[in-house]
Chain A
Amino acid sequence: MANLSTNIGALQLKNPVMTASGTFGYGLEFEDVVDLTAIGGIIVKGTTFQPRQGNDYPRMAETPSGMLNCVGLQNKGVQYFCEEIYPKIRNIDTEMIVNVSGSSPEDYARCAACINELEDIHAIELNISCPNVHDGGMAFGVTVEGASSVVRAVRQAYDKTLIVKLSPNVTDIVSIAKAVEAEGADSVSLINTLMGTSIDIEKRKRMLSIGTGGLSGPCVKPVALRMVYQVSRAVNIPVIGLGGISSATDAIEFIMAGASAIEIGTANFLDPAISVKVAQGINEWLDAHNVASVKDIIGVAE
């Protein structure tokens, strides 16, 4: 058995496999079919200061190897999270991480401040990259100034591990990563979804209710992998890699590209138990190659 533990700032994960926000609920939805404690970390649904209804149906469209979604951050708000959800998930024996979104730097900071009070939540992931809301989300993640302003505000309100989730819908992701590092982020995770669309030719109409949506799944993997490789070589904070991971081989590619941990998103829909299988598969690969610790292969790809 290889050593699978890995670090994201002050956070120690028992293994490098986490589940991505918006694809694994609060974890509880999956507990019948997967051992939650065998997952390295669970990043729960996007949470905002105020409750949000999200976008209208239809919110998804399928592609041959992925999907588009325009959920639009539907959630019951941070107060509901703290009062109703947190008590149910705080004792799950894995790192429970909250994905935070907002419509202004102050809004993000208010939400983060509430979560800062929760003893058993040791990290947040800031979503400055949601392509499906007009007010905020990706608007912040696509410019150096926007990204910096959110991280600066949140850093003052939040003193535990701060992960910033980057948008791939930019010309130069490295400059954004460096900017959030300079503002005090403890880690960056990438990528969020790629903006796309699809058309129903019979109805002569775009399929999603708001016209566009975020693309995820195996089809985005090469783009995500390239970005993880570039960013991890440009920053000194740990990088979390995601985008299209659906096997241990995919995960090891991201780790070799420079990721200290990985997240699995859309693949949970095909196999709700995939995260545990990927963690086991990484272990088997390490053993088969006589590698003692997963840390020994982070960033080894030339």
Chain B
Amino acid sequence: MALKKHIVDLQVVSREELGDRFVLLKCTDANAPLPPMMPGQFAQLRVDGSKETFLRRPISINFVDLKSNQVWFLIQLVGAGSRALGRLQAGDLLNALLPLGNGFSMPVSADTKVLLVGGGVGTAPLLYMGAQMKLMGMKPTFLLGARTADMLLQLEEFQKVGDVYVTTEDGSAGEKGFVTQHSILFKEHFDRISVCGPSPMMKAVAKYARANSIPCEVSLENMMACGLGACLCCVEKTTKGNVCVCTEGPVFDINELTWE
């Protein structure tokens, strides 16, 4: 069943710079409990005071803490919109439309071995996914990739939740290379894989999953205008034709996609 969507004026509780290219915003709703949100869902954040941009920006739910009534957003500073969001300070308001889209499917049995693979800022939704699994009594395995050690984000948070394996392209942390080359994939068997990251990485993991007959979900980042299934701008080609990533996704089973 779809979770009810809300428009809320969140308040930024804290702003942390993670290296010089990422900002972590921890936000709260000062007036009411935050609505329920699922791992893999996202928010459309309004970008105020930015002359270059016009539309909202889709950003994943990075973490939800019911006790402190907080929702976190991890933002990579790439262009004008993300930079404007990254300039928000504690106390500022952030208008959010949330929760949107369908999340990752949660494993039903505690014996299911789930591998969560993230690349770059694509690790963002996996933290919440792993935390929810832990609450359900499971121990997720994370495989996180980045170009360099300083681009590995929130490692301590991931370590609180599950087993963490790391690759970097330059070898400055963990194993050198891409996530699909990590030794854990050759040592252990996983029952399912959930992936979020740059599209070449997701395609490589999808290929690995297919070759090993492991069910696999990926989270897509198509450009969005409405986030509600109204504008039809965010479509992806699937076995069912063009579908909206914002409402049918952003998480898709790889068998639904027409990736080669």
Contact = CB atoms under 8 A, between A and B. Distances in A.
A302 interface: no
Interface in B220-235: 222-223, 225-235
A60 B225 contact: yes
B54 A66 contact: yes
Interface size class of B (residues with CB under 8 A): 20 to 34
A211 interface: no
Interface string A42-66: 0001000000011001111011111
Contact of B7 (A53, A64, A65, A272): A272
B217 interface: no
Interface string B213-250: 00000000011011111111111110001100001000
In terms of DSSP, what is the predominant structure of the interface of chain A? Answer: loop
A196 to B, nearest CB: 14
B4 interface: yes
Nearest to A74: B232
A59 B226 CA distance: 13
Interface stretch (A24-32, A83-91, A105-113, A281-289): A24-32
B55 A62 contact: yes
A30 B54 CA distance: 20
B67 interface: no
A271 B52 CA distance: 18
Interface in A60-84: 60, 62-67, 69, 71, 74
A30 B230 contact: yes
Contacts of A23: 226, 230-231
The DSSP consensus for interface residues of chain B is: loop
A241 B55 CA distance: 23
B229 A25 contact: yes
Nearest to B229: A29
B7 A273 contact: yes
Given A53-B241, A65-B54, A29 B235 contact: no
Contacts of A33: 5-7, 97
Nearest to B47: A270
B5 A54 contact: no
B46 interface: yes
B231 A60 contact: yes
Interface in B44-100: 46, 51-56, 97
B53 A62 contact: yes
Contact of A69 (B4, B97, B225, B247): B225
A53 B242 CA distance: 6
Contact of B242 (A24, A30, A74, A273): A74
Given A32-B4, A59-B235, A64 B230 contact: no
Given A53-B241, A71-B231, A74-B235, A64 B4 contact: no
8 contacts: A29-B228, A54-B235, A57-B222, A60-B231, A62-B55, A67-B225, A69-B231, A273-B7
Interface of B: 4-7, 46, 51-56, 97, 222-223, 225-237, 241-242, 247
Interface of A: 22-25, 29-30, 32-33, 45, 53-54, 57-60, 62-67, 69, 71, 74, 217, 268-273
